[in-house]
Amino acid sequence: MDKLTKILSFRNQFEAALLDELLDKKKIPHIVKSYCDSALSGLWQTQSIWGHIEAPEQFKNEITEIYNNMSKEFK
């Protein structure tokens, strides 16, 4: 896989899981990273963002577009 860059952040695990599934279906390489800290039982995580997605830079626009379309459907 090419060098990964942070593309966008997630508000919650459900948003992350949905985008992960959509990108898998399109075979877009990516990694979802959670900021969950088991030492703090996730306390910090709930006051901030849940995590982020990393992918090769050339997929940034496509991933952002998929995320924006996904977000519109749930408003």
In DSSP terms, 21 is beta-bridged to none
Q: How long a stretch of residues is the chain? A: 75
The packing angle between helices 13-25 and 60-73, to 10°, is 120
pLDDT digits (tens, 9 = 90+) for 3-19: 999 999 998 899 999 99
What is the phi-psi region of residue 27: left when phi exceeds 0, alpha when psi lies from -120 to 50, beta otherwise?
Answer: left
Domains: count for the chain:
1
Cβ burial 31-50 (10 Å sphere, 16+ → b, else e): ebeeeeeeeeeeeebeeeeb
pLDDT digits (tens, 9 = 90+) for 16-55: 999 999 999 999 999 999 887 666 555 555 556 889 999 9
Q: Which domain holds residue 9?
A: 4-73
